Amino acid sequence: MNYSMQISAKKVLVFVCIVAILVVGIAFAATRFMNSSPTVNSAVKTSDYPADQVTIYGNGITYVEYTKTVTLPHLPTPANLTSPQNYTNDVQFYLPPGALTDTLTVAGLNVLRITTSQENYPILQNGDNVTVYTATGTYTGTFLSWNTMLLLEANNGTIMIPTTTILKIVLNQAVQVQGPNILVDILTDSPPGQYQMNVSYLMQGPQWYPTYSVNVETSYLECWATIVNVQSWSNFTLVLVSGGPHIVYNAPFLESEAYFLAVPHGGVPVDFTSTTTDEYHEYTYGSKLSFVNGTTVRLPLFNGTVSLQQEYFWSGGNVEDLYILNDTLSQPLASGTVDFYRGNMWIGEDSINYTPVNAESTALVNYAYDIIVSLTVTKYVVQNNCVDEGINLTITNYKLTSVQILIQQYIDGYNLVSSTPPANRVGSTLSWTINLNSNQTTTIYYEWETN
């Protein structure tokens, strides 16, 4: 046998050995497989950030709901399997940054375990506006951090609060959360087949606020909703809620942990129709929407004619030009900014608090510099530790039209001795309603004393 034939014989021998090893291995694995009930893991991934309905509250908390079809796969069953095969499958999907994983609910499958990636976020974020209740006081400010001390930024300084003294923390306004997606892994032992998986969760970040415009000549009001910090949601129903849910972080804060207590909002009727559920007033947009992350969206919310009454007011400083807005519409006015126009001319703006139907809000539009009020102390007597003081108010209308002005003064804890003209006193507040023609001047005199 020559040299080349020896090499070929060796190659054949090596090949035969390799085949033999593979056959033995396969036979061993098949034996193990046939004598056991295997666990099958199969990842079923859904698309990013699906949403059927997005409910955005006024304090920066958002409730997301959606239904997704998932398919749990069938696997071949060995012919000689003597016991039922146990299936477990993994269903994976993503939540956006700021999702509060403790509030995640999954229905439609038998859920054995929910695992979230390390990118999940603490419930309390740096920048959240919170109110901290302790045994000795209440503090409102911007949350900074905590360890053994909770750090709160308030009144241009930092407050250090021992966490052992905290009774509860209430979220007033949540901040937007930046960061990577949150991977969720659902372990289920539901049998193979198709399922409608229902997912819901709360998240921080998206916010909405109303802006109003009012024409003082016609009393016509328009309300627009501005939505910021949105996520990339497609073909969903939008619900805006005036106000926010009461969200509490309970003490004690062991190992910097907190417990999130909130009841998510349920379903609402379709169509921007308005309705009231529990203590919330809701606005539901009448058609499906799609948002793109990083954009700000403005939508017309409602409009109609309200009741407006102009009033000049003075209690010190400049005379204020006020408008008393009575909500005669069919829905309340959420807290927001009101811009006032006279025809097409912008004349001022102010913020209003939540105003129920048929209730009033007062807005400061501008200052009436052509109406001047001056205060002069004309009497000041101290006798037997008792003070007697007389005040003279001079009001002059330099406008070309007649005006009515409300004058108020405060005599907290003092006795009213006299007033000309007579004052209307409610508690510690003295009020006079004065009518002045163009270029007319009048005076008010009142006197008070200590007890």
The dihedral built from the CA positions of residue 290, 295, 296 and 298, taken in this order, carries a sign that is negative
Please tell me whether residue 235 adopts helix, strand or coil conformation: coil
Query: In angstroms, what CA-CA distances link 62 with 176, 200, 258?
Result: 11, 11, 19
What does the pLDDT read at residue 166? Answer: 82
Q: Kindly report, residue by residue over 12-54, the tens digit of the pLDDT.
A: 444 444 444 444 343 433 333 333 333 444 444 444 589 999 9
Q: What are phi and psi of 27, to 5 degrees?
A: -65, -40
DSSP assignment, residue 289? B
- CB neighbours of residue 60 within 10 Å: 25
Please list, in sequence order, all residues whose beta carbon lies within 8 angstroms of the beta carbon of residue 8, skipping any fewer than 6 positions away.
none
Averages of pLDDT over each 10 residues, the chain, 451 residues: 44 44 40 37 54 90 93 68 66 87 91 80 72 86 81 87 81 73 89 93 88 96 91 91 67 36 31 59 88 88 94 96 95 91 95 93 96 95 89 96 96 91 94 96 95 73
Helix spans in 272-413 (H): none
Q: Are 213 and 341 a contacting pair, CB within 8 Å?
A: yes
Which residues share a beta bridge with 211?
224, 337
Contact yes or no for 152/161 (Cβ under 8 A): yes
pLDDT attached to residue 264: 30
* 145/90 Cα distance (integer angstroms): 36
Q: Are 313 and 405 in contact (CB under 8 A)?
A: yes
User: Phi/psi at 20 (nearest 5 deg)?
Assistant: -60, -45
Distance CA 345, CA 365 (A): 13
Three-state SS at 3: helix
pLDDT of amino acid 279: 59
State which CATH number among 2.120.10.30, 1.10.10.60, 2.30.30.100, 3.40.109.10 fits the domain covering 126-173.
Answer: 2.30.30.100
Cβ distance 221 to 329 under 8 Å?
Answer: yes
Q: Can you tell me the distance from the alpha carbon of 448 to that of 342, in angstroms, rounded to the nearest whole number?
A: 42
Query: Which residues lie across from 443 on neighbouring strands?
Result: 394
3-state DSSP of 182-218: EEEEEEECCCCEEEEEEEEEEEECCEEEEEEEEECCC
Query: What residue segments make up the domains of the chain, in order of their start?
Result: 126-173, 371-449
Four-way CATH pick for 371-449: 3.20.20.10, 3.40.190.10, 3.90.190.20, 2.60.40.290 = 2.60.40.290
- pLDDT of res. 269: 30
Residue 359 pLDDT = 96
d(CA 125, CA 127): 6
- The pLDDT value recorded for residue 133 is 86
End-to-end Cα distance, the chain: 133
- Side-by-side strand order, sheet with 424-426: 360-367, 320-326, 307-314, 403-410, 429-436, 424-426
- Judge contact between 41 and 86, C-beta under 8 A: no
Nearest to 407 by CA among 432, 444, 428: 432
Rounded to the nearest angstrom, the gap between the alpha carbon of residue 434 and the centroid of all alpha carbons in its chain is 44
Spatial strand order of the sheet with 182-188 comes to 43-45, 89-95, 182-188, 111-116
Residue 88 phi/psi, 5-degree rounding, is: -135, 140
**Cα torsion for 287, 292, 295, 298, to the nearest 10°?**
0
Cα–Cα distance, 394 to 445 (Å, whole number): 9
Q: Distance between CA 106 and CA 366 in Å, rounded?
A: 53
pTM for the full model?
0.69
**Residue 205 to residue 212: CA distance in whole angstroms:** 23
> In this predicted structure, what is the pLDDT of residue 272?
61
pLDDT tens-digit readout, 226-276: 998 888 899 999 999 886 666 665 544 433 333 222 223 333 333 366 666
Answer yes or no: are the C-beta atoms of 247 and 170 closer than 8 Å.
yes
C-alpha span between 150 and 322 (Å, rounded):
42
Q: Which residues contact 435 (CB under 8 A, 6 or more apart)?
A: 402, 403, 404
Helix/strand/coil (H/E/C) assignment for every residue in 423-444: CEEECCEEEEEEEECCCEEEEE
